[in-house]
Amino acid sequence: MRIEQESDGVSASTKHLVFAYYVTGHGFGHATRVTEVVRHLILAGHDVHVVTGAPDFVFTTEIQSPRLFIRKVLLDCGAVQADALTVDRLASLAKYSETAVKPRAKILAQESEWLNSIKADLVVSDVVPVACRAAADAGIRSVCVTNFSWDFIYAEYVMAAGLNHRSIVWEIAEDYSHCEFLIRLPGYCPMPAFRDIFDVPLVVRRLHKSAKEVRKELGVTDDVKLVILNFGGQPSGLKLKEEFLPPGWLCLVCGASKSDDLPPNFIKLAQDAYTPDIIAASDCMLGKIGYGTVSEALAYKCPFVFVRRDYFNEEPFLRNMLEHYQCGVEMIRRDLLTGHWRPYLQRVLSLKPSYEGGINGGEVAARILQETALGKNYASDKLSGARRLRDAIVLGYQLQRASGRDITIPEWYTTAEDQLGPTTPGSPVDDGSLALSPDFANFDILHGDVQGLPDTMAFLHSLSELEEKHKRRERKAAASLFNWQEDIFVTRAPGRLDVMGGIADYSGSLVLQMPIKEACHVALQRIHPSKHRLWKHAEARQNDKGGNPTAVLQIVSFGSELSNRGPTFDMDLSDFMEEGKPITYEKAKKYFAQDPSQKWAAYVAGSILVLMTELGVRFEDSISMLVSSAVPEGKGVSSSASVEVASMSAIAAAHGLNISPRELAILCQKVENHIVGAPCGVMDQMASACGEANKLLAMVCQPAEIIGLVDIPSHIRFWGIDSGIRHSVGGADYGSVRIGTFMGMKMIKAKASEELSKSCAANGLNYDEVEQDDLELLKQEASLDYLCNLPPHRFEALYAKSLPESIVGEAFVEQHENHNDPVTIIDQKRTYVVKAPTTHPIYENFRVKTFKALLSSASSTYQLASLGELLYQCHYSYSACGLGSDGTDRLVHLVQELQHSAESKSEGGILYGAKITGGGSGGTVCVIGRNCLKSSEHIFEVQQRYKKATGYMPFLFEGSSPGAGKFGYLKIRRRAAPKKANTGDDDAAVTVENSS
């Protein structure tokens, strides 16, 4: 329900009320908006006890009243920030555990007693979880006022924490379930723990002075442009310099320390400066997105140049609201730190903020709180806590969902999405309609064939529409990316379903991989620097270097709004050179890690550096790239490899490089290992580059020897079912298991060397043929290159019992010096599991060989049952390594239930097995079954049961498509269109995006 009525204030109540208002420990934005609500409650004659960790002046500057009581207690910690722009996810969870979880019983007893002692009529929370539970324990009603809740924010952090802290999200959501209803502010996130919701206008602090008065006090004339720097603390690495500002500009700095020496065109603001007045008097604001900055920028029509924060899930929703009302321009972090501010400040002056909504949310919320405390029942029916929590398990996955959103998101957000086009261009519904029209793309295909692939035709169709005016930021950027009179190269690379092999790839196992239907497309244009249309900030950067045209890389990534990554990336290609040679991979890794919202570009741009380093290629022309991937991220189907392979294929095609699919896959692995920093094996890139539709790529990863393509028998079918749990090969669990595996191999080699020495010493040079063979085996094992070359029987006979279950890194290094893995580093303080990760690839290699042989055996129920059993064995071996997850275990169990059901037995078997895939720790489950209609029905039943149990409807992967090598590349050129009068639309498109 939306409540937005205007009034002259909250009418005074005949009954004196007492409110306990809890304020979260995250940032000033919460405290400032609480102040506005509290001010109206006090004006209505009530007492308000504010429970907070924020400084007193935040409240007392605005409210001078004996009815305001400030109690300094911190009951949650918010998000811990490493610096002004970086949230430390693991530290946030650890701090919350110390602040609110461990002392929970004491907090609840203390708060319940205090609430009763002040005779509180209502508890209000923004948005402290434990306050709602304490209110319930004290028998007092509670209401939350917020635009986000901590269960949603922390759930994404929990995905990065592995098995640690998972109970935190459930506990927070359960605490919120005791709240009677939610007063929801604009720019809100999904908040599934709340069911009764009332929307109010922006809660914004009122102005005390006019813009003219503020400028007069500052001594700033009307002809001077003012920018307020508002980060809540200086971003790490930012050293302010005079040349950052264009002539005629002055910067007002919030939060500067007394010891900071500022240039003459920068002015320190007092710590207690009243920022709403200053924002309203400024020409623009430069800072990070938070509720306070966004709401005040919108309310007072102050254009906002913002820099993204990483890992704060509230930001995308506020950012979309800001941009929807034409009030925001994004600055990339690199330009913030290096002082390339001019193009952004110039661009922001042309914005026309259009927010005309109410800004009296504080008053409206206060009125609802007063009426609730007086006994009014706003919630039509009080839902049970269990029903309120039915969605809580999927809180961490909301932002990663593909199109077809089924979550509660703001009305303005869905409206804007409907008006501005589909959420994920390049991944349309495959209805075959595009295949009927040969002129769908307005392009001449000069080389290659679309091969009837609907997603490729859809991608070309979306490419052909890019000259039109677009309102979505990534489409604006793409519209100015290409010179339509020049050739464009298009490549395609699919994701993959790990049927067998998985994490045994880096141990040299045989693997079986199926390229899936979902793929990444890349459109690339190579163009002389003098003809390259640069975005404004890239142009300004080049002008600062002398103005001569030099090669620039510009990338647009579609689908960026589904996550918190920036939609554009650009760099001078000369940044990859140092003293006439390519920079090191380590320097490149640090270069891309500077700005987490643009770290994704390492997967794309990293291909250029690898080609420079490994093949000696030099790039003198500028490069423009559009990346559009329909391979869902974080689901264990190799979204990163598909981007790498499609990107490198496009670069190679445009530059006439003859690289075989196998060699290209190995080069792409270098991108991920050395520049991205993820310790993956090579099977993902090989499947994406070398796979063929409806076949399994059989490859021995030593390092990457393709032994053939295995036909999938017509009576067998594979599916992938997404668990909804975010997976990352860059995560700590995958890396620690890999380290444990290499530790185990080093121990085995040491043991073999020891046994070899003993045998030689005991037998001298006189040994029979049997002993000679045994010594030869020991020699081979002492110099083992790949763990999978050790047969299971030799492992069990000689080595299994000598391996420890686990070992501390420091102890291993003392005994063995190193683990000989070039892409991982041992943390000497960490304990690593050794025996299970070492055992897994040895037996997995045997399982994969058996699986491959069974595929070509006679069709029978026994064949299917045996194949399924091998999948199950692999799944439980993953779990023994520590790479399982609740979601994937649940999916495998559901397959087992249906496999052994009476209906399955009566049909002679339907589904036969399932296993976790790829790097584990979540992601997708591979299922094998009979290729029949009943199997599809059972797969649908698995999806429905999983949704009923978890609230999450799993994404289903079915179908296959060709790898990048089989697809090749397209060379296209737009057909000449009839000449029209020049309206300047092209220039306008460039100008709009150049602000990004």
Structure confidence by residue, pLDDT tens digits, 259-308: 778 999 999 998 888 999 999 999 999 999 999 999 999 999 999 999 98
- List pLDDT tens digits, range 417-437: 333 333 333 333 333 333 334
Band of pLDDT at residue 680, cut at 50, 70 and 90: confident
Name the domain boundary from 630, 651, 677. 677
Q: Is residue 841 included in any domain, yes or no?
A: no
**Model confidence pLDDT, tens digit, residues 61-118:** 899 999 999 999 999 988 888 777 878 888 898 999 999 999 999 999 999 999 999 9
* CATH number reported for the structural domain that contains residue 549 in this entry: 3.30.230.10
Residue 42 lies in a domain: yes
SS3 for 506? Answer: helix
DSSP bridge pairs for 285: 228, 304
Backbone angles phi, psi at 664, to 5 degrees: -65, -40
Helix residue ranges per DSSP H, 509-656: 536-544, 585-593, 601-615, 639-654
Tokens read off for 194: 């709340």
Q: What is the mean pLDDT of residues 687-694?
A: 96
Q: Given this model, what pLDDT does residue 990 score?
A: 33
How many alpha carbons lie under 13 Å from residue 906 in its C-beta half-sphere? Answer: 4
Do 648 and 655 form a contact (C-beta atoms < 8 A)?
no
As a whole number, mean pLDDT of residues 592-606 equals 87
* Residue 464 sits in the same domain as residue 598: yes
Is the predicted pLDDT of residue 485 greater than 60, yes or no?
A: yes
Task: Check if the beta carbon of residue 208 is closer than 8 Å to that of residue 62.
Answer: no
Peptide bond into 127 cis (omega under 30): yes
Lowest-confidence region among 401-405, 461-465, 617-621, 811-815: 401-405
Give the per-residue pLDDT at 159: 64
List the catalytic residue out of 47, 76, 335, 684.
684
- Average pLDDT over every residue of 856-860: 92
Q: 463 and 371: one domain? A: no
Question: Pairing between strand 284-288 and 622-629?
Answer: unpaired
Do 216 and 118 fall within a single domain? no
Question: Strand locations in 617-715, DSSP E?
Answer: 622-629, 695-700, 705-711
- The pLDDT score that the predictor gives to residue 437 is 45
Nearest to 463, CA basis, from 521, 408, 526, 402? 521
| Residue 324 lies in domain | 211-356
Q: What share of the chain in percent tops pLDDT 90?
A: 64
Q: Peptide bond preceding 703: is omega within 30 degrees of 0, i.e. cis?
A: yes
Q: How many domains does the chain have?
A: 3
CB of 357 closer than 8 Å to CB of 327: no
Q: Would residue 811 count as lying in a domain?
A: no
At 252 the three-state DSSP class reads: strand
Binning pLDDT at 50, 70 and 90, where does residue 37 land? very high
Only one residue has tokens 């970086």, namely 86
State the pLDDT at residue 415: 34
More confident residue, 138 or 320: 138
Task: Output the pLDDT for position 594.
Answer: 81
Instruction: Verify that 196 and 256 share a domain, yes or no.
Output: no
Q: Which two tokens stand for residue 92?
A: 């946030």
**Alpha helices by DSSP H, 8-149:** 27-43, 57-60, 89-96, 104-117, 129-137
C-alpha dihedral sign at 266, 271, 275, 277? negative
- Asked whether residue 684 is domain-assigned, the answer is no
What is the average pLDDT across 835-846? 97
pLDDT (average), residues 881-887: 88
Structure confidence at residue 832 (pLDDT): 95
Classify the C-alpha dihedral 946-948-950-951 as positive or negative.
positive
The long-range contacts involving 85-89, CB below 8 angstroms and separated by at least 24 positions, are 85/231, 85/235, 85/236, 85/288, 85/307, 85/308, 85/309, 85/310, 85/333, 86/236, 86/309, 86/310, 86/311, 86/596, 87/309, 87/310, 87/311, 87/312, 89/156, 89/157, 89/160, 89/161, 89/311
Looking at the fold, whether 52 and 115 belong to one and the same domain comes out as yes
First to last CA, the chain: 36
| Predicted local confidence at residue 445, as pLDDT | 93
Identify whether residues 573 and 537 lie together within a single domain: yes
In a domain, 196, yes or no: yes
Q: Do residues 844 and 504 make contact, with C-beta atoms less than 8 angstroms apart?
A: yes
pLDDT in tens, 714-764: 999 999 999 887 655 544 478 899 999 999 999 999 999 998 888 877 665
- Secondary structure tally for the chain: helices H, strands E: 35, 32
Kindly report the three-state secondary structure assignment for every residue of 255-289.
Answer: CCCCCCCCCCCEEECCCCCCHHHHHHHCCEEEEEC
Percent of the chain as helix, strand, coil, to the nearest 5: 45, 20, 40
For residue 736, what pLDDT is reported? Answer: 92
State the pLDDT at residue 514. 96
C-alpha to C-alpha distance for 624 and 488, rounded to whole angstroms: 9
- Please indicate, yes or no, whether residues 91 and 240 belong to a single structural domain of this protein: no
CA distance 898 to 170: 29
pLDDT of residue 3: 53
CA atoms within 13 A on the CB side of 807: 26
Q: Are residues 194 and 273 in the same domain?
A: no
Is it the case that residue 983 has pLDDT exceeding 50?
A: no
Residue 348: inside a domain: yes
How far apart, in whole angstroms, are the C-alpha atoms of residue 599 and residue 593? 6
* pLDDT(218) > 60: yes
What pLDDT shows up at residue 380?
Answer: 59
Beta bridge partners of 924: 722
Q: How many other C-beta atoms can be found within 10 angstroms of the C-beta atom of residue 947?
A: 14
Q: 449: closest CA among 485, 488, 490?
A: 490
> Tokens in use for 265?
């065109």
Q: How far from the centroid of its chain's Cα atoms is residue 73's Cα? A: 33
Tell me if 845 is assigned to some domain. no
Least confident span in 237-241, 345-349, 514-518, 987-991: 987-991
Residues 222, 133: one domain?
A: no
pLDDT at 563 over 70: no
Inform me whether the pLDDT recorded for 667 exceeds 50.
Answer: yes
Rounded to whole angstroms, the Cα distance separating 423 from 932 reads: 33
Task: Report DSSP letters for 92-110, one per residue.
Answer: HHHHHIIIIITTHHHHHHH
Q: ∠ CA(421), CA(422), CA(428), 5° rounding?
A: 135
* 798 found inside a domain: no
Instruction: Say yes or no: 271 and 140 in one domain.
Output: no
Average of per-residue pLDDT across 187-192: 83
CA gap 756, 776 in Å, rounded: 9
Q: How buried is 971 (Cβ within 10 angstroms: 0-12 exposed, 13-18 middle, 19+ buried)? A: middle
449 is catalytic: no
Report d(CA 391, CA 952) in Å as an integer: 8
CATH number at residue 139: 3.40.50.2000
Cβ atoms 285, 179 nearer than 8 A: no
Question: Rounded to two decimals, what is the model's pTM?
Answer: 0.76
What is the per-residue pLDDT for 416?
Answer: 32
On whether both 237 and 334 belong to a single domain, the answer is yes
Do 259 and 386 have their domain in common?
no
The pLDDT value given to residue 404: 32
**Angle (nearest 5°) at CA 273 between 272 and 274:** 110
Question: Tell me, what's the pLDDT at 886?
Answer: 85
- For residue 895, give the amino acid letter: V
Last residue of a domain, one of 677, 701, 729: 677
Task: Pull the structure tokens for residue 278.
Answer: 């200053």
Instruction: List all residues 6 or more positions away from 541 whose beta carbon is below 8 Å from its beta carbon.
Output: 335, 340, 572
- In angstroms, the Cα distances linking 855 to 100, 271, 851 are 54, 71, 6
Quote the pLDDT of residue 408. 33
How confident is the prediction for the chain on average, in pLDDT? 86
C-beta of residue 156 within 8 angstroms of C-beta of residue 137: no
Closest CA to 852 of 606, 511, 539: 511
Spell 813-851 as b/e; 16+ CB within 10 A means b. eeebeebebebbebeeeeebbbbbbbbbbbbbbbbbbeb
Residue finishing a domain among 630, 658, 677: 677
Q: Are strands 552-557 and 568-572 parallel, antiparallel or unpaired?
A: antiparallel
**Structure tokens that stand for 295 in this block:** 């709401």
